[in-house]
Chain A
Amino acid sequence: MKAYHGKILRIDLTAGKSSIRTVDERYVRKYLGGQGFVVELVYHGMPKGTDALAPENVLAMAGGLFAGFPIPTGGKTAFAAKSPQTGTLVESIMGGVIGAELRHAGYDALEIVGRAEKPSYIFIEDDSVEIEDASELWGKNTREVPETLKKELGWDVKVACIGVAGEKLVRFACIDCEERQAGRGGLGAVMASKNLKAIAIRGTKDLEPADPGALMELALRYQNIMENAPSFKEDTVYGTGEFLGWINKEKGVFPTRNWQTGVFDEREQIDPYYWATRYVSKNKACFACTKPCGKLFEIKSGKFAGVAVDGLEYETLYSLGSACGNASIESAARGNELCDVLGMDTISAGVAIGFAMELVQRGILTEEDVGMKLTFDNAEDAVPQMLELMGRREGFGDVLADGVKRAAERIGKGADRYAIHTKGMEPPAYDVRGMKGHGLAYMTSTRGACHLRAGFYAPELVGKFWRWEGIDRQSPDGKGEMVATMENFMCVYDSVGLCKFSRGFFLIEKLCEVIEAITGMKFTEDELLGIGERIHNMKGHFNHREGVTRKDWLLPTRVLEDPIPAGPSQGSTISPEQMNKMLDDYMAARGWTADGDPTPEKLEELDIA
């Protein structure tokens, strides 16, 4: 079993002890790595009904199968736990190096349970595992924590940490590693609930591929393919927001002012074609990425002078931009920086602010309630101000720090009519009223509204992908099976640790030879997709066990009832009939009950116990 160590490190913070679980090739063939490993650890790791913020919750971390090996864009790290935001099993993937470093320390995965008595950090240096006092780190932001730890432990130590938002148990707090985040689902709050501020790792062990020559050849081949692809220029010059103008103007599905419309007329400044040449001082990459879409965005003058942030991603241009009616790129950049240093997911944070702004617009909330002029017109100032309050749970920020679903319950007065989410998760930057299958994917995503569990925006917006052509984004037909298949595809991606922006280069069949060069193990495309199916079914079964059933999957009322009022997707909704048809198709394609649970036969078929 080349490339693997056969060891999972388990740290019990309550007992202050660590132990090793050995795993064999059978385990690896079942779960691959990355997401597969962390889902397995969380799925089997806690009894039914465990509170997400209780010591019994499992926080798992693992590098993907490729992480640590030179495969372009293949360096991802997966985290997972039961989420305090959705109550489901949430995995969140980051481009940080921490998972690869864990492998260099000699472990295929890390499982953290319990709760330390006082603020602590974990320091793993190969076989040495220490739980150290982090009293001095508590209260520090996600830039100060690694800086402090590296001064003490050495510049080459890799650090994943939480910010103040995590400490305050903001339900969408993230985990940060080198300006890259496991952003979604509040895993930062889970980490804080364990009194764990940071994980520091120095790994000095070799990672040995099965066939070094073949691996080098594959690395060079894909490096060349990527560098010569048209998307190389788009990514390296404009970043992930390159297609913002197209989504907004040509497709009309760029959610604006809390999803009141799908076109942001004031988009000029937040479009990378405006800001890339004015504010970007260098490219930034995830670990092991030779096709960098990250940008160092710096503001040198004006009221936001001093901002330096790795961004802004497409999703953030929506959440801190259009979703809040914010036409100021400098304000959005400051907001992005605040989210990063405080340690919050930019998507959920921005959507929560846009939600509150609509409540003010409709008179459900007043300026006195929220303590500031929280309006779409005043977004430039209000967005950064409110983010500071949310990250520290001060004033009205405390209400929004629980996410739109819980905030709506607390506010009452019909506020839930304007809370845009599925399973309690605020949605990313695609107005699914004009993208029916992507709307289905928001419902079926095991972590709540997500663009990446199925990545279905790409097939629907482009009209073709992989096995399909002539896809009609406005039709619900056939979407059930397609979304289910794409979910399996993406589970494989997150298990090998590849960036989803590479899915045009590495279709699943292409992964087989890479996996063989690294591990020596042979897989077929169907076997890999079967592993993806297993992983997705485990998440689905866990969620149903925890009481998250079809009723919680459903789309927000706005998507069902309020047509997009203008633009290329004008008139679009997903009707309740369309929604239910797609869900029924999906359950049938999955072999799940109508309520959203894998049948016993399906579990047995996939060898899930």
Chain B
Amino acid sequence: MYNIVGLSEEVTKMVKMLVPYPEKCTGCRFCEMACSLFHEGKINHADARLQVHKKDVRTDFPSVCTHCVACGEECCVHACPVEAIKIEDGIVRVDEDECTACGACVDACPFGVMRMEETAFKCDLCGGDPTCVKFCPMGAIKYEEPNAEQYEKVKRLLEGE
């Protein structure tokens, strides 16, 4: 069992996070549209808190981020010069009051899912009932117990681009 940053092992066992399954993604991008519609009331793939990549005939995959999976020195938490990105209950959150919109986190995010408008923003799990999961009948994004291996898979696919 993977231990999410900021949580004890006991608590980690009880939390759920978004888990990407690249091998199940069909590349339809419905999750992006639904995410944007849910949060913004309009469709813009740049507003979506997750991204679907279509690389070649064999490779489609979703890129997501919810809980801190310890991306390493390159991560958003380290990149933020004003410590506006915090880990609360394991979830990576942007403190909009402190964010200066410098964009360092967007550049740093290895998953490409930190977004920027007036402030940085990212996936907030839709308050506990993630829209993307509801719209993925293939199970390419699941809301379930932590599984860091799947994040590693996505990271490797992104590095190959």
> B99-142 toward A: CB 8 Å interface, digit per residue (1/0)?
00000000000000000000000000000000000111110000
Do the beta carbons of A207 and B42 come within 8 Å of each other?
Answer: yes
Do the beta carbons of B57 and A70 come within 8 Å of each other?
Answer: no
Looking at the complex, which one of A178, A281, A308, A309 makes contact with B27 (CB distance below 8 Å)?
A178
B30 at the A/B interface (Cβ < 8 Å)?
yes
Within 8 A of A (CB), among B21-65: 23-24, 26-30, 33-34, 37-38, 40-47, 53-58, 60
A70 in contact with B56 given A204-B46, A227-B137, A232-B137 (CB within 8 Å): no
**Bound-complex Cα distance A70 to B34 (A):** 6
Q: Which residues of the partner chain B approach A143 to less than 8 Å between Cβ atoms?
A: 56-57
Do the beta carbons of A208 and B42 come within 8 Å of each other?
Answer: yes
Do the beta carbons of A284 and B60 come within 8 Å of each other?
Answer: yes
B161 at the A/B interface (Cβ < 8 Å)?
yes
B29 nearest in chain A by CB position: A287
Total A-B contacts with CB atoms under 8 angstroms apart: 105
B35 nearest in chain A by CB position: A70
A97 at the A/B interface (Cβ < 8 Å)?
yes
Do the beta carbons of B28 and A286 come within 8 Å of each other?
Answer: yes
A216 nearest in chain B by CB position: B37
Do the beta carbons of B53 and A155 come within 8 Å of each other?
Answer: yes
Q: Which residues of the partner chain A approach B26 to less than 8 Å between Cβ atoms?
A: 282-285, 289, 292, 294
Do the beta carbons of A223 and B137 come within 8 Å of each other?
Answer: yes
Do the beta carbons of A219 and B28 come within 8 Å of each other?
Answer: no
Do the beta carbons of A207 and B43 come within 8 Å of each other?
Answer: yes
**Bound-complex Cα distance A310 to B45 (A):** 24
> A53-85 toward B: CB 8 Å interface, digit per residue (1/0)?
000000000000000111010010000000000
Do the beta carbons of B23 and A282 come within 8 Å of each other?
Answer: yes
Q: Which residues of the partner chain A approach B46 to less than 8 Å between Cβ atoms?
A: 204
Q: Which residues of the partner chain A approach B138 to less than 8 Å between Cβ atoms?
A: 236, 283, 292
In the complex, what's the smallest C-beta–C-beta distance from B151 to chain A, in angstroms?
19
Q: Which residues of the partner chain A approach B57 to less than 8 Å between Cβ atoms?
A: 143, 179, 296, 308-310
**Bound-complex Cα distance A309 to B57 (A):** 7
Q: Which residues of the partner chain B approach A179 to less than 8 Å between Cβ atoms?
A: 57
**Bound-complex Cα distance A238 to B138 (A):** 14
Do the beta carbons of A282 and B24 come within 8 Å of each other?
Answer: yes
Do the beta carbons of A68 and B42 come within 8 Å of each other?
Answer: no
A208 nearest in chain B by CB position: B42
**Bound-complex Cα distance A70 to B134 (A):** 13
A residues at B contact (CB < 8 Å): 68-70, 72, 75, 97, 104, 143, 147, 155-156, 178-179, 204-209, 212, 215-216, 219-220, 223, 226-227, 232, 236, 281-292, 294, 296, 298, 308-310
9 contacts between A and B (CB under 8 A): A69-B33, A70-B37, A206-B43, A209-B43, A232-B137, A236-B138, A282-B24, A292-B26, A296-B58
Q: Other than A70-B43, A209-B41, give 15 A-B pairs with Cβ distance below 8 A.
A: A68-B43, A70-B30, A75-B28, A97-B29, A207-B43, A209-B37, A216-B37, A282-B24, A288-B29, A289-B28, A289-B30, A296-B57, A298-B58, A308-B57, A309-B57
